[in-house]
Amino acid sequence: MALPNEYLKYPIRKYGMDQDYYDWSITFRRTPVVWPNKARVALWVTPALQWYPMDLEGKPVAPPGMFNRPYPDYRNYSHRDYGLRVGVFRVMKLLDDLGIKASVPMNSAVAERYPVLVEEVNKRDWEIIGHGVHMGRMHYEGMDENLEKEFVSESIATLRRISGQPIRGWLSIGKSESSKTPDLVASQGVEYLCDWANDDLPYEFRTSKKALWSMPHTLEIDDRHLLFELKQRESDYVQQIKDQFDTLYRESEQYGGRILSIALHPWVIGHPYRIRYLAEALRYIVAHDGVWAATGADILDTFRKQQG
Amino acid sequence: MLSDPNVYVYSPYNNRPKITWPNGARVAFWVVPNIEFYELYPPPHPTRKDMARPAPDIQFYSSRDYGNRAGLWRLMEVMDRYGVRGSVSLNVAVCDHHPEIIEACLKRNWELFSHGVYNTRFQYGMSEAQHREFIEDVIATIKKHSGQSVAGWLSPALSNTEMTLDLLAEYEVLYTCDLFHDDQPQPVKVKKGKLISMPYAVEMNDIMVFHQVAARSPRHYAETIKAQFDQLYEEGAENGTVMCIPLHPFLIGQPHRIGPFAEALEYITSHDGVWVTTGREIAQHYYKYHYDDVVAAQLQSTRK
């Protein structure tokens, strides 16, 4: 099949990025950031609370953890719901025991259906991050613009109403955005975005409204990715978290404060046999001097005071 | 379509002319960081689509951008530590977008070879005129930004045409990395001039190991690298072998992967009899000392 000659034309082949969201910048050439009490690594744990409706279609873009059986799929519905009934309480107890504050990406449907979970989060002074309506409401390029606007405003307004929290962060479901998503979340007063996996540190992110910050929410150190999608052994998962920490901890000596993002899904990590592995990994981390367990908003505030 | 690509002769691994490396080394060892640029809005190609989601697929895009912002610099530090120069499989648009990267490569005396223009522009379906324009662009861009001639070619995203190898020989490219049939360099059949294939170990490629085929853990990857080396080192005592580690900084440069990789690199470079080198240097040595003998031996065996 013949290729049009335009295929060999490169209109944005020039210095910097091929888009205007952010500037090209090398992570290791930036002014070092100093965390409170001269901590070396900010530990940012994000257990996501997600509701998968049983009539999940997953079209045209499927969410992570998409169902794979015909309706009515009790098997997958109830397996995901396990995280909201049982798994999340194991995660909370573990983080409480270790004195770790968390940021919780939350579908607004979770807050509406299970307000007790919002109470539990608030009681701990944890942060809630906007995470869309529910897992059947993905954002993607080509979706109706008004519908996306409604998803963003509805989910953020619901979380604000039920939790009383400002909702300063946003994590798109499956880290999937349309080209409008950053504008839409910025116009709702969100300050930081967790979707872009290209850095170890926060950086400024432009929208047509006010500027956002991109926060380095992990794509890889993620229980669902490693254990559910890649089907790795739990012992490998623990080792990867330790190796991730060791590298960042070592680099912090030369390059300034680092951020260790650990993304959790209680429907994956909250099973009895798995929580013990997470406990091992987190105990290893907090046993080091210079670890600051913080929310995304706290980390960003500290960063912006120095580099905003 | 062809049922046999007919770009090399069948040559069994036993009874070959002996390949020797400088200073009696058993293994020529080269490491290939793929330094790439993926466009946020790539033009659609009629036969292949890489992104799972409609553009902008920001997960696909941003995870790859990580390599240029963070991962590569971590990888460079580790390669410096063990005295390994990179042979860079380069999307040449990186010269335009990120000249700081090119500067860092040249400071280390790394080789730059071709991986096309962007990793989101495939060679499939190019006419001869388009293919020539494409090759000339790559050669001119690398020359302009580094002064280097292009010795090697790995087609962008491994996208080929039936013309590619003949054209590369015509433009005096020394080696191709697109053929995975051997653990030694091999002559490639081209219409005019000369070309060899350089072992580029598809199964050692981090993107195959972590994403496309195996989903292995970083420590498992380090084990496979060491096992691959042990075997090639053993065989290299009889007939020189090539060990290649193809890498993607957006994968291997992640904090959880770089430590185990560093251990593997330390293991390899701590052995005597390892020629730690680049693709260009292997190719030049092979042409100088072995190419004619191997071609003659292969010609003889096909006549039998």
- Whether the complex's predicted ipTM is more than 0.85 is answered with yes
For chain B, give the percent of residues with pLDDT over 90.
92
C-beta atoms of A141 and B56 within 8 A: yes
In this prediction, residue B52 carries a pLDDT of 84
In this prediction, residue A91 carries a pLDDT of 98
Asked if pLDDT for residue B266 goes beyond 70, the answer is yes
CA torsion angle B249 B254 B256 B257 (round to 10)? 0
Q: What domain range includes position A160? A: 34-307
Instruction: Describe chain B by its helix, strand, coil percentages, rounded to 5.
Output: 45, 10, 40
C-beta atoms of A8 and B58 within 8 A: no
Q: Which of A6, A198, A236 sits opposite B65 (nearest CB)?
A: A198
Residues of chain A contacting B217 with CB distance shorter than 8 Å? 232-233, 236, 239-240
- Tokens coding B270: 């701590």
Q: Which of B62, B99, B215 sits opposite A230 (nearest CB)?
A: B215
Distance CA A285, CA A36 (A): 17
For chain B, give the percent of residues with pLDDT over 70.
100
In this prediction, residue B190 carries a pLDDT of 97
Average pLDDT rounded to a whole number, residues A272-296: 98
In this prediction, residue A223 carries a pLDDT of 98
Asked if pLDDT for residue A125 goes beyond 70, the answer is yes
Which among B35, B69, B91, B220 is the top mutation candidate for probing chain A, defined by the most A β-carbons within 10 Å of its own β-carbon? B69
In this prediction, residue A256 carries a pLDDT of 97
Minimal C-alpha gap between B259 and chain A (Å)? 7
CB atoms within 10 A of CB A152: 25
Pairing of strands A103-106, A41-47: unpaired
C-beta atoms of A60 and B54 within 8 A: yes
Q: DSSP readout, B155-185? A: -GGG---TTHHHHHHHTT--EES---S-SS-
Q: Is residue A43 part of a domain?
A: yes
Distance CA B92, CA B187 (A): 26
In this prediction, residue A90 carries a pLDDT of 98
* Overall domain count for chain A: 1
Q: What is the DSSP letter of A33?
A: P
For chain A, give the percent of residues with pLDDT over 90.
97
Distant-in-sequence, close-in-space partners of B36: CB < 8 Å, separation ≥ 6: B64, B67, B91, B94, B115, B118, B119, B248, B250
Per-domain residue ranges of chain B? 29-40+51-303
> Model confidence over B275-291: pLDDT tens digits?
999 999 999 999 999 99
- Tokens coding A21: 């969201």
Residues of chain A contacting B255 with CB distance shorter than 8 Å? 200, 243-245, 247-248, 251
Which residue's structure tokens are 């994403």? B211
In this prediction, residue A75 carries a pLDDT of 96
- The gap from C-alpha B210 to its chain's centroid, in whole angstroms, comes to 17
Asked if pLDDT for residue A37 goes beyond 90, the answer is yes
In this prediction, residue B303 carries a pLDDT of 78
- Tokens coding B170: 């015509």
Asked if pLDDT for residue B304 goes beyond 70, the answer is no
Asked if pLDDT for residue B214 goes beyond 80, the answer is no
> Model confidence over B157-173: pLDDT tens digits?
999 999 999 999 999 99
SS3 B114: strand
> Model confidence over B103-156: pLDDT tens digits?
999 999 999 999 999 999 999 999 999 999 999 999 999 999 999 999 999 999
Instruction: Give the CATH architecture of domain B29-40+51-303.
Output: Alpha-Beta Barrel (3.20)
The CATH number for A180's domain is 3.20.20.370
Q: Is residue A163 part of a domain?
A: yes
Asked if pLDDT for residue B24 goes beyond 90, the answer is yes
Residues of chain B contacting A179 with CB distance shorter than 8 Å? 56
C-beta atoms of A200 and B255 within 8 A: yes
Minimal C-alpha gap between B9 and chain A (Å)? 29
Q: DSSP readout, A175-211? A: G---TTHHHHHHHTT--EE----S-SS-EEE--SSS-
Asked if pLDDT for residue B261 goes beyond 70, the answer is yes
In this prediction, residue A38 carries a pLDDT of 96
Which residue's structure tokens are 């053929």? B179
Banded model confidence at residue A307, pLDDT cuts 50, 70, 90: confident
In this prediction, residue A1 carries a pLDDT of 62
> Model confidence over A114-124: pLDDT tens digits?
999 999 999 99
Q: Which of A142, A231, A243 sits opposite B260 (nearest CB)?
A: A243
Residue whose C-alpha is closest to residue B200's, from B234, B228, B238:
B228
Average pLDDT rounded to a whole number, residues A271-287: 98
Residues of chain A contacting B41 with CB distance shorter than 8 Å? 18-19
In this prediction, residue A33 carries a pLDDT of 98
In this prediction, residue B79 carries a pLDDT of 98
Asked if pLDDT for residue A159 goes beyond 80, the answer is yes
C-beta atoms of A200 and B259 within 8 A: no
Q: Which of B134, B215, B259 sits opposite A246 (nearest CB)?
A: B259
Q: Is residue A271 part of a domain?
A: yes
C-beta atoms of A240 and B217 within 8 A: yes
C-beta atoms of B70 and A28 within 8 A: yes
Average pLDDT rounded to a whole number, residues A140-164: 97
Where helices occur in A59-114 by DSSP H, the ranges are 74-82, 88-98, 108-113
- Mean pLDDT across chain B: 96
C-beta atoms of B126 and A219 within 8 A: no
Average pLDDT rounded to a whole number, residues B45-68: 93
SS3 B248: coil
